[in-house]
Homo-oligomer: A and B are copies of this chain.
Amino acid sequence: MHKEHNLTKNQKIIFDLIDKSSQPLKAYSILYNVQKKGIKAPLQVYRALDKLVEIGKIHKIESRNAFIACHNSSCQVAKATAFSICEICEKVTEISSAGLSKYLANFKDKDGMKYSKYNLEFFGLCKKCTLK
């Protein structure tokens, strides 16, 4: 799993909030939710988020500017991430597929560029929303 990183107070408060959430959280919604715990400024939130992303405890969903806790032991410290995003209910799920990770980790473009990282976002309808 993850290397232990001894989160600081702010990092812990913010990680716990994201970890408990069933959907991705946005920075200012996090801010609003932790103000009672003494975190008052956007920058305090963004600094914690940056660190948490860096150490792989959370991921940023780029197309949504939102953050989700990592629940996938195969995404080595934020280097290889894949998500499915429902375009109706906005439910986001981290994809854990050995086949996919392997395929993408080994992918080389025709310029021979070697990649150290990737992020993949799939869009569609989740099961619930398909049935509606």
Interface, chain A (partner B; CB < 8 A): 62-63, 84, 86-87, 93, 95, 97, 100, 103-104, 107, 109-127, 130
A113 B97 Cβ-Cβ under 8 A: no
Q: How many angstroms between the C-alpha atoms of A60 and B66 in the bound complex?
A: 17
A-B contact list, 7 entries, CB within 8 Å: A103-B103, A104-B120, A111-B127, A114-B125, A116-B124, A118-B122, A118-B123
Residues of B within 8 A of A87 (CB): 116
With A62-B62, A62-B63 in contact, is A117–B123 under 8 Å at CB?
Answer: yes
* Residue on B nearest A110 in the bound complex, by CB: B97
Q: Are B113 and A117 in contact (CB under 8 A)?
A: no
Contact check, B109 vs A114: say whether CB atoms are below 8 A apart. no
The reply to whether B115 and A127 form a contact with Cβ atoms under 8 Å apart is no
Tell whether, in the assembled complex, residue A113 and residue B124 are in contact, meaning their CB atoms are under 8 Å apart.
yes
Of B63, B103, B127, the residue contacting A119 (CB under 8 A) is B63
CA distance A60 to B111 in the complex (A): 22
Residue from B93, B110, B119, B122 in contact with A107 in the complex, judged by beta carbons closer than 8 Å: B122
Contacts of A111 in B (CB 8 A): 84, 93, 126-127
